[in-house]
Structure 1
Amino acid sequence: MDFMISGKTALVLGASRGLGAAIAKGLTAEGVKVFAAARNVSAMEETESFIPISVDLSDAASVAALIATIKAAGGVDILVNNSGGPKAGPAVGQSKDSWTNAFESMATSIFAVTDAMLEGMIDRKWGRIITIGSSGVVQPIPNLALSNGVRAAVSGWSKTLAGEVARHGITVNMILPGRIDTDRVRELDAGRAEKTANTVEAVQEASRAEIPAGRYGKPEEFAAVAVFLASEHASYVTGSAIRVDGGMIRGA
């Protein structure tokens, strides 16, 4: 299928590894010019065909510099908002600083980048904004209070924004990953294993038992959904939160 986005330009945040890297690769394969933003871009510079840009989403000055660079390059047609998750931990006892820092890096920064990229999209009457969330938006994940709380706020923002910009030919959607085989998920599995005095293999086996598909997802499977949402064919899909979780979340 021709996704009809060859020649478009995209900015993918958090593109050095995991879901962000997989999406950047998927868009590049469709002929999209990809600006790949991350804190560590050294690995991309030699092995990938992206245009690497360094950014620290927890640093307002770094985010402002990214925005200035992309706007000077003419803006983008496709924006993929992808931020790393905060440390695991319970809701009880979280400090004000922990909540503030998590919100700054996972929410405020992507709000600012999105607002800046929207200017060009509105002028061109075409745009795709895709934000990577978490299954915790639908069913909170134990011991991930910061992520559950902040990503829920981002979900409300995404839905609100979708209603505001649809008339400009811009779609705004979220993708909610379940257990996708990424470094982040492996780190969480290792943390759970240590906390429960179990092996990582036992933790992963227990997780697979809760997934109807019986396995963790592949990053490229997740990326395929993002590429579709970025395509011309998805022009009537907006304000949605699409799960890519192998059927893990049973609720509506």
Structure 2
Amino acid sequence: MDLYLKGKKAVVTASSKGLGRAIAEQLAAEGADLLLCSRDEQAVCDVAAQLGQKYGVSATGMAVDLSSPEQIGWLVQQAADRFGRVDALVCNAGGPPSGSFLSLDEEAWLHAIQVNLMSVVRLVKGFHPLMKEQGGRIVTIASSSVKVPIPGLVLSNTLRTGIVGLMKTLSVEWGPGGILLNTVCPGRISTDRLVELDTAKASRDQVSVEEIRESMVKDIPLGRYGEPEELAATAAFLLSPRNSYMTGSVFYVDGGSIKAI
């Protein structure tokens, strides 16, 4: 299926690896021009160069700290200068630290709020002027924890749920202007973040990482962890003109692990 993304202008945050990189590659494969960012400038510039050469699209990488409103503002200005408009925006950020409620101090909460919630607020507000003329698509990457909270991830459980509320609210406010906003929630997708979480849980439970993975897979009807490319395919569709009537929704890419209706 042609997603009609050829020549569209897309911005993907936290795209030097993992889910962000996979989404960026899927968009490039469909012909979209890219502006990518990450805290690791060398890594994201390398990804941009690889995708640009592989798919024949314009792709630029730059260093941006999503906890900084000034740097997000700079990213928006770069997109305005390079593209003049933005058709697709992916709000993605690394997950906050694991920990129980009583183990986390206020500094951890404030930092996570800046990176994982306020970054989305600032990104969607900043890019709105570049979408309002022609409409656009926004996808935020959250977590299956918005449906079923994950033990030991109180920061993620709290902030990801806030993102869903924001996207739902904006889908109503911005729908008349042709801007569609959706949330994609990964389950257990094979990324560096998941290795970190499995390792932390193995340490807490005093078992091996392999035992943790085996126990987790038992709860996944498809019997395996997902691949970043599988989530990226869903995100690319939602970011494309092919998605013309879905907004304010939450999409779980979890192999069926969420059992709730």
TM-score by length of 1: 0.96
User: For residue 28 of structure 2, what is the amino acid of its counterpart?
Assistant: T
Alignment counterpart, residue 218 of structure 2, candidates 202, 209, 216: 209
Q: Which residue of 1 aligns with 2:20?
A: 20
Structure 2 SS opposite 1:88: coil
Q: Which residue of 2 aligns with 1:111?
A: 121
2:132 matches 1:122: yes
Q: Deviations over 1:188-240 (max 9, x none)?
A: 11111111111111111111011000000010000000011012221101010
Q: Which residue of 1 aligns with 2:102?
A: 92
Give the Cα separation in 1 of the matches to 2:199 and 2:148.
Answer: 21
Alignment counterpart, residue 151 of structure 1, candidates 154, 160, 181: 160
Q: Which residue of 1 aligns with 2:205?
A: 196
Give the Cα separation in 2 of the matches to 1:172 and 1:32.
Answer: 19
Q: Deviations over 1:138-168 (max 9, x none)?
A: 0000000001101111110010001111111
User: For residue 222 of structure 2, what is the amino acid of its counterpart?
Assistant: A
Give the Cα separation in 1 of the matches to 2:103 and 2:239.
Answer: 40
Cα deviation for residue 64 of structure 1 reads 2.3
Q: Which residue of 2 aligns with 1:80?
A: 90
RMSD over aligned CA atoms reads 1.2
Give the Cα separation in 2 of the matches to 1:165 and 1:228.
Answer: 19
Cα deviation for residue 37 of structure 1 reads 0.9
Map 1:19-38 to 2 at 5 A. Answer: 19-38=19-38
Q: Which residue of 2 aligns with 1:48?
A: 51
User: Structure 1 stretches (4+) deviating beyond 6 angstroms?
Assistant: none
Structure 1 SS opposite 2:202: helix
The 8 Å contact of residues 120 and 163 in structure 2, kept in 1 or not, is answered as: no
Give the Cα separation in 2 of the matches to 1:15 and 1:75.
Answer: 20
Q: Which moved more, 1:22-31 or 1:160-169?
A: 160-169
Alignment counterpart, residue 196 of structure 2, candidates 183, 187, 190: 187
Structure 2 SS opposite 1:247: coil
Q: Which moved more, 1:64-73 or 1:172-181?
A: 64-73
Q: Deviations over 1:21-49 (max 9, x none)?
A: 00000000000001111111313434332
Q: Which residue of 1 aligns with 2:55?
A: none
Give the Cα separation in 1 of the matches to 2:85 and 2:104.
Answer: 38
Cα deviation for residue 65 of structure 1 reads 1.8
Q: Deviations over 1:113-146 (max 9, x none)?
A: 111211121112x200000010010000000000
Q: Between the two proteins, what is the percent identity of the paired residues?
A: 40
The 8 Å contact of residues 139 and 182 in structure 2, kept in 1 or not, is answered as: yes
Cα deviation for residue 68 of structure 1 reads 2.1
- Give the aligned length: 251
Q: Deviations over 1:60-118 (max 9, x none)?
A: 32222212222222131100000111110012343222211111111112211111211
Q: Which residue of 2 aligns with 1:66?
A: 75
User: For residue 121 of structure 2, what is the amino acid of its counterpart?
Assistant: F
User: For residue 21 of structure 1, what is the amino acid of its counterpart?
Assistant: R
Q: Which runs of 5+ in 1 are unaligned?
A: none
Alignment counterpart, residue 178 of structure 2, candidates 169, 172, 177: 169
Q: Which moved more, 1:59-68 or 1:194-203?
A: 59-68
